[in-house]
Amino acid sequence: MTKTAGELAAAIGAELNGDKDFEVRGVAAPERAGEHDLIYIEAAKHSERAATSAAGCVIAADDVTMRGKTVLRHAQPKVAFAKAAAVLVEQGPIAVGIHATAIVAPLAHVGKNVSIGPYAVIGEDAHIGDGTQIGAHCVIGAGCWIGENCRFHPHITMYARSRVGHRVEIHAGTVIGADGFGYVYGDGRYWKFPQVGIVEIADDVEIGANATIDRGSLDDTRVAEGVKLDNLVHVGHNVQIGAHTVIAAQTGISGSSRVGHHVVVGGQVGIADHCTLEDGAIAGAQAGIPTGKTIRAGQTVWGTPAREIGKFKEAYAWYARLPELGARIKELEAQMRGKGKKKSSPQKAQRKKGK
């Protein structure tokens, strides 16, 4: 989509320096940009990249000098660039119209301008909001509710009665509403605990490919507005995730854990059952959070078991020195043994004399 520099500046809240009528047609990295692409730089040390780029328009901070280009000044260039990209880059359609091979139950409610791809299945009493796109081979179970302007990529499965808000994007292969891992042991075997809750996903959530979100057992599993889940994230039954939290790939959250708002969770983090990550907490990549542990608001943790990052770094520094410390201990032990032998020698000589 083409916008003038002046229109972009107004859209992203930037100060314009240069030609307000300059046409911007796309976004790119400085080295790959054409004349009508938008680029950005965050610091003065990258000025040379922008200066040698073919791009005619650049987003930059106030302290960056830039000649010969139209500049959009913003305190957070990367954030401004992302906002501009949302305006300039049009998303390709996932589906167009309702394909002849799609199966839509007679009692399903399909809103205006809904697109449903090949071989998708929409169950009885399902609700699909206006402008939503459902990709090929998706299965939307009976009684599911999907809001307006959502984007469901191919091969998504929503189990019965799951609910998704407006403007939600879900990538290929994700499963929402499968039974949670709930069993109790008795009489020599495992008995399945009821999994009769639902999944509720709020507005403006994005879920990566092959993620899994289990339905609640007796309660519900809830994902609040603005949450971003990466590929291969697993959310167990009854988990509650607060607004605008981001969770990176291969993280697993066990049942009945609570994650607050604006929490950051790195890749491959393991969160055991009944844990709490309070608002604004940060869990570094591969952190392991044991059952029932609470990570306090604003705290950053790392390691397994997870601990405050300062303590983790201190412990890790000692861990890295273990070979060196082990060698020193062996040396000291050898010295002590040598001293012991020297002390005992005169006594042995006396004993020999007595004989």
**Domain residue limits at 329:** 321-355
For residue 72, the model assigns a pLDDT of 95
Give pLDDT, residue 68. Answer: 87
pLDDT at 141: 98
Number of structural domains found in the chain: 3
What does 50-99 look like in DSSP terms, one character per residue?
HHTSS-SEEEE-TT----SSEEEE-SSHHHHHHHHHHHH-PPPPS--SB-
Is 234 one of the annotated active-site residues of the chain? Answer: no
In a domain, 97, yes or no: no
Residue 33 CA to chain centroid, in angstroms?
A: 28
Could you state, in chain order, the average pLDDT of each consecutive group of 10 residues for the chain (355 residues)?
94 94 95 95 88 94 87 95 94 95 98 98 98 98 98 98 98 98 97 97 98 97 98 98 98 98 98 98 97 97 94 89 91 86 59 56
Looking at residue 319, what is its pLDDT? Answer: 85
The answer to whether residue 94 sits within a structural domain is no
CATH of the domain at 294: 2.160.10.10
CA torsion through residues 74, 83, 40, 228, sign: positive
Distance CA 293, CA 276 (A): 6
Q: How far is CA 333 from CA 320, 328, 340, in A?
A: 22, 9, 10
**Residue 316 resides in a domain:** no
Tell me: do 147 and 270 sit in the same domain.
Answer: yes
DSSP H helical ranges for the chain: 5-12, 47-51, 77-88, 309-320, 322-354
Angle (CA) 270-276-280 rounded to 5° is 95
The two three-digit tokens of residue 250, written as one number = 């291969």
Which CATH number belongs to the domain containing residue 13 in this structure? 3.40.1390.10
| Active-site residue, from 127, 166, 237, 274 | 237
Are residues 160 and 201 located together in one domain of the fold? yes
Question: Which one of 56, 88, 120 terminates a domain?
Answer: 88
Residue 286 lies in a domain: yes
The H or E element containing residue 276 is strand 276-277
Q: Do 79 and 134 reside in the same domain of the chain?
A: no
